[in-house]
Amino acid sequence: MNFADEDYELKEVQRLEGHTDRVWGLAWKPAAGVDGVPSVLASCSGDKTVRIWEQSASTGSFQCKAVLEDTHNRTVRSCAWSPSGKLLATASFDATTAIWENVGGDFDCVSTLEGHENEVKSVSWNASGSLLATCGRDKSVWIWEVLPHNEFECVSVLQGHTQDVKMVQWHPSMDILFSCSYDNTIKVWSEDGDNDDWHCVQTLGESNSGHTSTVWALSFNASGDKMVSCSDDLTIKVWGTDIKRMQSGDGNVTWTHLSTLSGYHDRTIFSVHWSRDGIISSGAADDAIRLFVENEDGSVDQPSYKLLLKKEKAHDMDINSVQWSSMENRRLASASDDGTVKIWELGSSLGQKKQSM
């Protein structure tokens, strides 16, 4: 997609209020927002609750449909929908991960995963929904298998990071797990054979042109051959792999550094998310949202990225999460320390420009 010849603007569509503390995480429900199924967004907060926001078919605006409370007794740091959209997993500072089942309009807590010693920081489902990963302050990464009747069995406890693990994320098509940490590295975990034998196959750190401070988040492009990461070192880095070789089962395929986006941020970047049509969004401690796209005119081998737009003062405080909708291409949600969630639409401002010419 060529973003070169147009001017874009990020329009605030709606501001969702209800949380009484900072909002940490967001998750768009998959397979919603099309064919008459309304869009649904989950948000989790320092107020120990998760809110479910649903778009009204008649007005198009989002309304809070459910508040998931009285289960976690500390901050809910992260939430993730299973690929089918039936289950929502929530990771909390209370050391547990809760699994919620969506029955009609209600959400029931059907399982609680205990194992981490203390704060759970992130949760992620694999592409098929058969595995769940969690990570936390105890420096460990856990892999759970989803069994029938909402039972979860621990497959492996992975130790390798030397500090707090901030985020876990499965590859969008393969059962390869990625984790990023306060130890400044990204680790790649894969299973050796079919033996529950998971181990770290690669560590992306400073020696691989990696980050020099806490890595807060990572995200994949639609085809899964590129990954983007963001850090306290004020840079965004793009990594690439040979996806065809990886899919053919070659266990030795590694990820390499492709590009570093530096000079755009002057405060910590907490969140990064790659849209299906190739736009990288970032949310940072300077309260701004930035969008980046690949430079199409570059003749160099390595891809380079340019700033598409910067939305100053997108929130009143730090932005903890930015998430593109899985269905509506140009819809973005953001969550902030200011306690609000905002829905944005990326639109072209070309029309107005032409009129004035």
Which residues would be at the binding site for other proteins (CB under 8 A)? 93, 113-115, 117-119, 137-140, 142, 145, 152-159, 163-164, 182, 196
d(CA 158, CA 161): 9
As measured in angstroms, the least distance from the Cβ of 350 to other proteins is 41
Our CB check for other proteins shows the closer of 140 and 336 to be 140
| Residue in 162, 254, 158 with CA at minimum distance from that of residue 197 | 158
Amino acid letter, 221: N
Our CB check for other proteins shows the closer of 194 and 312 to be 194
As measured in angstroms, the least distance from the Cβ of 58 to other proteins is 39
Structure token digits, residue 316: 């009143």
| Residue in 4, 55, 82 with CA at minimum distance from that of residue 333 | 55
As measured in angstroms, the least distance from the Cβ of 55 to other proteins is 30
Our CB check for other proteins shows the closer of 121 and 311 to be 121
Our CB check for other proteins shows the closer of 169 and 214 to be 214
Report how many helices (DSSP H) and strands (DSSP E) the chain contains, helices first.
2, 28
| Residue in 102, 25, 28 with CA at minimum distance from that of residue 68 | 102
As measured in angstroms, the least distance from the Cβ of 137 to other proteins is 5
Q: Assess contact for 159 and 140: CB atoms under 8 A.
A: yes
Our CB check for other proteins shows the closer of 49 and 326 to be 49
As measured in angstroms, the least distance from the Cβ of 24 to other proteins is 9
Our CB check for other proteins shows the closer of 153 and 316 to be 153
Our CB check for other proteins shows the closer of 94 and 294 to be 94
Q: Assess contact for 239 and 204: CB atoms under 8 A.
A: yes
d(CA 90, CA 325): 19
Element (H, E) at 224: none
Amino acid letter, 266: D
d(CA 350, CA 347): 9
d(CA 2, CA 4): 6
As measured in angstroms, the least distance from the Cβ of 91 to other proteins is 13
As measured in angstroms, the least distance from the Cβ of 119 to other proteins is 7
Our CB check for other proteins shows the closer of 75 and 325 to be 75
- Collect contacts of 9-12 with beta carbons under 8 A, ≥24 apart: 9/309, 9/346, 9/347, 9/348, 9/349, 10/289, 10/291, 10/309, 10/311, 10/314, 10/332, 10/344, 10/345, 10/346, 11/344, 11/345, 11/346, 11/347, 12/314, 12/342, 12/343, 12/344
Mapped onto helix, strand or coil, the DSSP state of residue 321 is strand
As measured in angstroms, the least distance from the Cβ of 146 to other proteins is 13
Amino acid letter, 313: K
As measured in angstroms, the least distance from the Cβ of 201 to other proteins is 18
| Residue in 6, 9, 5, 7 with CA at minimum distance from that of residue 312 | 9
